[in-house]
Amino acid sequence: MSKRVLVSGGAGFIGSHVTVELIQSGYEVVVADDMSNCDMTCFEGVKKITGREDIPFIKMNFCDLDAVNKLFSEFQIDAVIHFAAFKAVGESVSEPVKYYSNNLSSFLNVIEAAKTHGGCNVLFSSSATVYGEPDKLPVTEESPRQPATSPYGNTKQICEDILRDSVKAYARFGNEVTPGVHKDGCIKGIALRYFNPIGAHPSALIGELPRGVPNNLVPFITQTAIGKRECLSIFGNDYPTPDGTCQRDYIDIVDLAKAHVYAVSRMLDGKMEKDYEIFNIGTGR
């Protein structure tokens, strides 16, 4: 029987591409999203690409623990990929409470539900922002985390810590060394720290379609190209680069989606070397 993966925030930019790759790799997928930063366009595109009209979709907020528990009760979940979080760096600076409340609560609820319903593999959508202002480039998984430069980055660091500590505590459940707990309540986890995803699916049926003002470069480029914006503004002139503008490590969205599938397979196929692992996803340039 095919393994089932829950994709929280699965109707968004990254989540929709990951859902496509999971289905095309033979997994059953449940998509859940509160639709706060997207509409159904991407999810409809996912159904067209995969030829699957029967993909379960639940509109819900992961900050609602009762709703999360209900979801885990209705479906046998083998792995969770958690994307459901606010992600605008600038907004997180002006509205930190909004980011801490949403991003931490939603992830804590996923961990709690996974533990309550017999254990689960958890893949956390982290970010290279956890490295803060690194002392040396390029960063590797062994590079130390520096103080976060934004509340958004700090929520990623905290969620990584939540996953690490939960794995340390609940990985014991499967060994029956803790009296009175679920025998199968083991949680294992992977955090993927990725850099700057760009692009769209080759079918052009899904891509980055943010509500309101975009938070990433590519939507500004495409909106300028089609005349929605008069010009493309480039900010910054004092970076240590040849022309003084900022440089970023960009990764194609489909490559990033495939990396999530590899990580899920690593967990479900028992190939993890440790119960909690971290991987950078980027080009290293």
Question: What span, in angstroms and rounded, lies between the C-alpha atoms of 83 and 98?
Answer: 16
- Give the start-end residues of each E strand in the chain: 4-8, 28-33, 57-59, 79-82, 120-127, 187-194, 196-198, 250-252, 276-281
Cα separations in angstroms, 207 against 8, 13, 16, 201: 17, 6, 8, 6
* C-alpha 190, offset from chain centre: 11
Backbone angles phi, psi at 240, to 5 degrees: -75, 60
Catalytic residue numbers, as ranges: 152
Tokens of 110: 């996923």
